[in-house]
Amino acid sequence: MSSGTSAPRQRFADRVRELAKFGSVGALAYVVDLGLFNLLSFGPGEVLGHKPLTAKVVSVAVATLVSWLGNRYWTFSARRTQTRGRELTAFVVVNVGGMLIAVGCLAFSTYVLGLTSPLAKNVSANVVGLALGTAFRYLAYRHLVFTGTGEPVEEDAAPARVG
């Protein structure tokens, strides 16, 4: 095998691993969102049972933070930057964009195509919208959020302090 075919295969394998990590982090964030929403809404004491929108905002905020941490320290660890605040802000903006894609798909199928059945709404928002939004988020994270060069960031380069 020549070295010319080895490099493309390695890049492909690296991308597949990155996509698997991205999917795993997304799945974990989804479980956090769903679990926390249900815990706040229907769990012991129904803490936010009377405020479902507040429960959803809290669960999405926590899931977004879990997703950012997982993507920053695992999926795109070699590409993270020293500017955590900028990174988190860009991450949140990208997530809002991904959500708008899903909402846009739902609005298009409901109000333009007139598809109003529960199945049509779920397919447009939770299949098509989720797939398009996920593709958008992956590309945006890779090219707009986690833009580091692979050089160790300051938090990695500094030795750990003891006591």
* DSSP-assigned letter for residue 66: H
Higher pLDDT, 117 or 27: 27
Residues 140-145 have a mean pLDDT of 94
The pLDDT of residue 151 is above 80: no
Residues 29-46 have a mean pLDDT of 91
| pLDDT tens readout for residues 39-61 | 998 999 889 888 888 888 899 89
Identify the H or E element spanning 129: none
CA–CA–CA angle 19, 25, 31 (5° rounding): 135
What per-residue confidence (pLDDT) applies to 2?
Answer: 52
| pLDDT tens readout for residues 83-117 | 999 999 999 999 999 889 988 888 899 899 999 88
CA-based nearest residue to 60, from 77, 82, 35: 35
Q: With contact defined as beta carbons under 8 Å apart, do 130 and 103 qualify?
A: no
Other residues' Cβ atoms within 10 Å of the Cβ of residue 13: 10
The pLDDT of residue 14 is above 60: yes
